[in-house]
Amino acid sequence: MKVTSISLFASSQFSSKVQSWATSMATEVLSVIDKSADFFESTDSLLIFNQNQELSQEILEIKARYDKQQKPVHKIDINGTLRVGITNFDLWLHSTKAKNVLVIGAEELATNPNLERYLAAV
């Protein structure tokens, strides 16, 4: 299922790593420089990539903003079971009808080989 847009934070190793995947998943890929409140209003959901359920303070703060607005949030643990992760992601996309998604992840995920494995399987 293609979404309308995926937003990625500019100047991020993680964003650079998922750029081609985002292009295949969305009609438009946006590069976000400013993390202002206006930006969060233009997205309708949040997708968080993580490893071993660890989330940085910055990611927790962004997640809290989406939770406060009651917008859908989904977390993918790239060190978890691949098939379960893919199935849950597909179910989340279909059930929430997410169209404008912010995709975030910690910088260290860019060097985790499981990220590439996951992105190739989706």
* pLDDT tens, per residue, the chain with 122 residues: 689 999 999 888 999 999 999 999 999 999 888 766 667 788 999 999 999 988 999 999 999 999 999 999 999 999 999 999 999 999 999 999 999 999 999 999 999 999 999 999 98
Question: What CATH number labels 3-121?
Answer: 3.40.50.450
Terminal C-alpha separation, the chain? 10
Delimit the domains of the chain by residue range: 3-121
> How far lies 103's CA from each of 14, 27, 94, 109, in Å?
10, 15, 17, 13
Helix (H, G, I), strand (E, B) or coil at 52: coil
Provide the edge-to-edge strand list for the sheet that holds 26-32.
26-32, 3-9, 100-105, 45-50, 73-77
pTM: 0.93
Q: Which pLDDT does position 37 carry in this prediction?
A: 62
pLDDT for 2? 84
The answer to whether the beta carbons of residues 108 and 79 sit under 8 Å apart is no
